[in-house]
Structure 1
C-alpha cells in the first residue's frame, strides 16, 4: 500500500506510533493524507516526523483541531481515554463538532461505550474498528478490520479503513462496541488453540516424539491452524519475533472472558484460557513475545 497516492483532502489525526501504529500511519501518509501524530514517547514522534515530511507532531491537543478523522491505535481502552479525555484536557475537547474518532485499539467494549458517552456532548462520533493481522498486515495495509458503530459513521471511516486494511477482510459487526467484542473473541480462540498446541507438544516430546515432526504432521492434518504454523516458525526455531506482546494477548483474553460473563454464557474454555495466559503474564511479563508463553506452562515445548 505504501507508495500509492489517493489524493485525499482530509486531515487525519493518528494517536499511537507503536509496532502497529507506526506502519499504519506510514500508509496513510503514503496515501496522501495530511497527518497530525501523537505518541506518549517523544522519540517515537521525532523518528516518525523525520521520516515523513509534512507531518505535524502534536505538542498539545489543539493540534488536532484541524482533523477530520482521528485514529487511535493504543494498548487498551484506558490509554485511549487518557489521550482523548485527559491529556492536557483531552484531544476530544479540541475536535470540531462532527469529527469522527476511529478507535482501532484492542479495547474493552465497555470502555468504548464510555468514551463515546463522554464525547457525545462535544458532537464527536466514534467507530470501533480493531484489527487482526499483526505487524505484517499493518505494514502491507492488509489488516482484517472489524467495524462497529452507526452505519453512516462506518461509511465515513472508509477513507481511512480502505488504506489500512484489505476490503475483502473488512466486516461490519453491528453497533458500537461490537468490533472490540469480536476482536477479543477472535483472539481467545487463537489463545486457547495456543494453549492446546503447547500442551500437545509437551506431551508428545515427553513420549519421545520430535516436536518438528509433530508440527509438520499437525500442519498437514486436521489440527492445522495459524497457531500451529506460528509454532513452527517462532517457537521451535527460538525466534520469538511476532511483535505481538504477551501482555496484549492476555488482555484480549481477559476481555473475552468479561464479554462471556456479561452475556451470561457458561464458558469454561474461555475461563481456563484466561487463567493460563494470566499465569504466563505473571511469570514472563507483558513485554515478552506472546509465543514465549509455553515457557511458563511447558518449558520443554521449545527453546
Structure 2
C-alpha cells in the first residue's frame, strides 16, 4: 500500500480500527481532539501523532474519519484545517454515521478542491471493530476512488458492500440501525407486556428466539444486557437515536409518509430525553418499562 493514511477519531471504534491499519505496516498518522489520547494511542500502535488536523493533512494521502456526527466531520474537514493541507488528488473516507444529504454536499465541495470523498459507515460495533470483521457500506461516485479505498477498508472489515453513489452508504447505515432500533423496541415491549401478564421474561425470550419473532436484540443484547441489567453493550443511546432520526428525516424529505420510522424515532427520542446522551442504548428499556407501570 503506497498511500500515507491519516485516521481522525480514536474513540471506542476508531481505536481498534486504526490499530488494524497500523498493524498492516501502512504509514499511519492519527489525531483525536484529546491530545493525550492521540499521543498514547500512537505510541501503542506504532503510528505518528498529529498535533492538529492541518498536520495530519500534510502527512496523509488518504484520510479516514470516524467521528460522532456528520456535522463534526464537516467541521474537521472544512473548518479545522484538514482540507486546506490535503494535496489535490487526496481522498477522504468518512466511516462515521452521517446524514446522507450532508455527505453529498461535502463531496461536492471537496470535489471543487480536487479532493475525493466517499462514505463508508460500518456495522458490527466494538466487538467486530476489534476483530476487523466489520460490515462496511460504501457510497462512492468514482470507481477509481473506490478501488483506492477498498484495500484500506479490508483492513477493518471482512464484508465490503458497494451501495451506490456518495451518500448511499450513510443512508444504508441509518436504515439498518432503524431496523435494529425498531426490533429492540418491539422485543422490549413484548417482554414488558408479557411480564405484566405474568410471563417470565427469560422464558418469553427463549420462546421468541426459537420462533419467528427473533432478531439480533432478542438473541444478543436483551439477554446479555437487559435481563442482567448490565446495560453495557458499548453502543451509546445518543448514537442510535441519531441514526434513527436520520432514517426518519430521510422518509420525511422523500415524502414517503412512512409511520413506523417516525414513531420509532419519537420513542427513542423520549428515552434519550429521560436518560441523557451518555447512557447505553439498552438502558432505554427502563424508560419504556416505567411507562408501562404508570
Q: Tell me if 1:13 matches 2:3.
A: no
Query: Which shifted more, 145-154 or 178-187?
Result: 145-154
Shift of 1:269: 0.4
Q: Tell me if 1:225 matches 2:215.
A: yes
C-alpha separation in 1, matches of 2:132 and 2:280? 22
Q: Which residue does 1:93 correspond to in 2?
A: 84
Contact (CA 8 Å) 2:100, 2:168: kept in 1 or not? yes
**Number of residues of Structure 1 aligned to a counterpart in Structure 2:** 290
TM-score (normalizing by structure 1)? 0.92
Shift of 1:60: 4.5
Question: In the superposition, relative to structure 1, how do residues 219 and 300 fare at CA in structure 2: closer, same or farther (>3 Å)?
Answer: farther
Question: In the superposition, relative to structure 1, how do residues 59 and 214 fare at CA in structure 2: closer, same or farther (>3 Å)?
Answer: same
* Structural mapping, 1:58-207, within 5 Å: 58-87=51-80, 90-150=81-141, 151-166=143-158, 169-207=159-197
Shift of 1:47: 2.1
State the secondary structure of the residue aligned to 2:68: coil
Q: Which residue does 1:3 correspond to in 2?
A: none
C-alpha separation in 1, matches of 2:47 and 2:68? 26
Question: In the superposition, relative to structure 1, how do residues 273 and 147 fare at CA in structure 2: closer, same or farther (>3 Å)?
Answer: same
C-alpha separation in 2, matches of 1:59 and 1:170? 30
Unaligned runs of 5+ in 1: 1-7
Deviations, residues 31-69 of structure 1 (Å, cap 9, x unaligned): 111111111112321220231234232435133223121
C-alpha separation in 1, matches of 2:47 and 2:180? 39
Q: Tell me if 1:39 matches 2:39.
A: no
C-alpha separation in 2, matches of 1:36 and 1:289? 30
Output the aligned Cα RMSD: 1.4
Q: Which residue does 1:287 correspond to in 2?
A: 278
Q: Which residue does 2:204 correspond to in 1?
A: 214
Deviations, residues 156-195 of structure 1 (Å, cap 9, x unaligned): 10121111101xx221111100100010011101111111
Contact (CA 8 Å) 1:98, 1:125: kept in 2 or not? yes
State the secondary structure of the residue aligned to 2:155: helix
State the secondary structure of the residue aligned to 1:163: coil
Over 3 Å off, 4+ runs? none
TM-score (normalizing by structure 2)? 0.95
Query: Which shifted more, 170-179 or 110-119?
Result: 110-119
Q: Tell me if 1:249 matches 2:240.
A: yes
Q: Which residue does 2:253 correspond to in 1?
A: 262
Question: In the superposition, relative to structure 1, how do residues 236 and 117 fare at CA in structure 2: closer, same or farther (>3 Å)?
Answer: same
Unaligned runs of 5+ in 2: none
